[in-house]
Amino acid sequence: MRAGPEELAKALDLAIGDGSISLARNIDLYRGTDGHLAARVLRYSELPGALHRFLAELGAPAPVLPHAKKGLMADTLDPRGCFDRTRLLG
């Protein structure tokens, strides 16, 4: 993403305000036919090895993971700063 925190906050505020944020709901894509949601948590600190083991269990080749770039996903971004409290608390 090339936007800064201010642009992200404005986009989130707009999406919440007009209700379009609900279009991002996709949890049902990850449910089985019985409705059960299966998940496996992989710790970021162990990601290359954990991903390799998980994919080996599935019989899939493990990719080489690229180095993550810093930016909006860096630890310096506080998600609480991206939401308008007055809109959220109504």
Residue 52's pLDDT is: 92
Name beta bridge partners: 31: 37
pLDDT, tens digit, 9 for 90 and up, residues 1-15? 577 778 888 888 898
Whole-angstrom Cα distance, residue 69 to residue 32?
Answer: 33
SS3 state of residue 31: strand
Residue 34's pLDDT is: 92
pTM score, whole prediction:
0.42
Is pLDDT above 80 for 89? no
Residue 5 identity (one-letter amino acid): P
Whole-angstrom Cα distance, residue 14 to residue 10?
Answer: 6
**Domain spans, the chain:** 1-37, 40-64
pLDDT, tens digit, 9 for 90 and up, residues 39-78? 888 888 888 899 999 999 989 998 888 766 555 555 666 7
DSSP state of 86: H
